[in-house]
A and B are shown apart, each in its own frame.
Chain A
Amino acid sequence: MQLKRVVVTGLGALTPIGNNVEEYWEGLKNGKSGSAIVTHFETEKFKTKFACEIKNYNPEDYFDRKEARKLDRFAQFAMISSSEAIEDSKLDLEAIDKFRVGVIWGAGIGGIQTFQDEVMNFAEGDGTPRFNPFFIPKMIADIAPGNISIKYGFMGPNYTTVSACASAANAMIDALNYIRLGHCDVVVTGGSEAAVTIAGMGGFSAMHALSKRNESPETASRPFDATRDGFVLGEGAGALILEEYEHAKARGAKIYAEVAGGGLSSDAYHMTAPHPDGIGVVKVMENCLRDAGIGLDEVDAINTHGTSTPLGDVAELKAISQVFGEHASKININSTKSMTGHLLGAAGAIEAIASILAMEHSLVPPTINHTTIDENIDPSLNLTLNKAQKREVKVAMSNTFGFGGHNACVVFKKLS
């Protein structure tokens, strides 16, 4: 059976450095930091008092009040970013076969604010379980694609992938494969997360996963820097329209890039710590390149998982060196998390979009906030430090790794 080719024909983004794709790119190319003191709740007793929140966000700009009330913030973000991507794709919603349009979304957690509110409300009561009937349908991670399908009438495959910080990449790879196999013409994919809440921040903080650089939130996310001290929690969403190549060509769609392939692997090692030898990370990049039929020396750019944690960043770079050998030093490696923070289940989506935009603009966004060389990092690697670098990007990879040892990697290719 001949696999179909899959292309990206629409993008949508709601990120801590820009509330749509255009603003997001402006932020990326200029090295803008999205990190600031948390506004969602009182952080006085929290060890980390900052995060990458969405700025200037008012749900009532996008939803009527009744609709907004029934959507957790992560689901609101999903609706907004997917609507931008669908609009961008210029799909004729009247003409397409909606049975062949899927929605495969990524969310690492889902409606944690809703969960928190309902449980706290119960705890304040007399033990009578007065839970809101919308509690469960607002909270569950799969409600985001459910709501997107209800809005547009898309009746193809519909679900959420949950693999922590690899969730959106898993979603994109599933979307790619459904189209490749001929089951769908179009899949709305991506991911969203909204975990900048008391429980979200408190939980990650308890793991010592978060940066505590409270004196300088905007420089706290500093992947690959010797003084990095943890990741910066972010929120937001990214959406991509994946479409079968001939379907896209037939309607004269703008094609951003080809989704050349995806790779998956597992560390099978520890709940949260990366494998010290990065075996799973090596494997996921190899699997991805093999799936795409792309040679090592064809890769121009890698948007790393690079969360700014002491262990993870070094392990990932070692794996890149191991996979690519001499070619590793010719790759523009970056971590856009230095600007956006870590969007957990949405990270794979906004980072894939960053890779695609780097291709589109022949400019690789920087890894900002670098001040001090880490001697454990191979100095021959080009980490695109502090300033965007001009480069024709024909092939770009995006890595994501999730707690639980889930690794997912997607590779995009300029359409020749």
Chain B
Amino acid sequence: MQAFLKTGKIGGSERPSSSGAKTSTKKKPPAPWVEKYRPKTIDDIVDQGEVVQVLRECLSGGDLPHLLFYGPPGTGKTSAILAAARQLFGDITRDRVLELNASDERGIQVVRDKVKSFAQLTVSHTRPDGRACPPYKLVILDEADSMTTAAQAALRRTMERETRTTRFCLICNYVSRIIPPITSRCSKFRFKPLARENVIKRLQEICETEGVDVGDGTVLHQAVDTCEGDLRRALTALQCCQRLLGKITAEGLIEVTGLVPEQLVQDYVNVKNYTELEKFVENFLMDAYSAAQLLEQLSAFVVSCGHLTNKQKCAISEKLALCSHRLLDGGAESMQLTDLGCTIIMANNNP
């Protein structure tokens, strides 16, 4: 009886706690790993020595110039500035930072109204609780290369006039799409593609924290290979794979990244005649692989391919560029693949 009561009691006391734990985990939406492991401080940022140094300097009291970050996706541009902003402003980040990215309305009207009025506000050099903080605000324009030229032009004067109270940070992939008057007003920083070993180290750390088994790490190497130094893509791929399969395998990674199997790329290059080509294209599209992806992999394959002469490589690459352009414009996949295939056959026939 006593034992029964006792166990009953223990059971009773245990249940609420377990259910409590459950509701608390339920309330917090499971964050994507990319958000969860975004660097909290600028010291966590992988690679990118110079930028980190400049940011560190301004954290320790120096002045912050207007910044222009450029580089390939997934190298930590947004993470760097967000981490810096958090360290600079602490809990008043929300009042001091205006973040706009490509999905927000960002035409000339918004630059004139929203950005300008935000920039004109003056702020004090102390926080509400009396501690010191930098006497300026920060405007982050993410994906700035998708802003129209007119909108960029509208920024020029604002940037200069409000230097006293506001710093701008523009982030883009292609610096050539930013108009020169803007680039000349900012200090430019190039974000290099991340070094292989650093990416792998970071992925390994995250996998360990998440309790994911990655074996001897060959799958991580593969993830990095497929993602070309893009840490975000590698991480998303790993997480998708983990979700879908419950474990991380080489095949799973190929599946979630939408990669075309290497064998198919080789088949495409080695196609002999038109009938074979027709068949290949049909099967390829029926298996729902992406033509754009095939072109991307093909370009890497052709350039490093041993048995093609330079002339052949030129012919194929030229057509490849043309077809890829048409594909982006929305051309039909079957047509473009057939066209490129014909060029490959012809190139193979007369070396």
Do A and B interact?
no
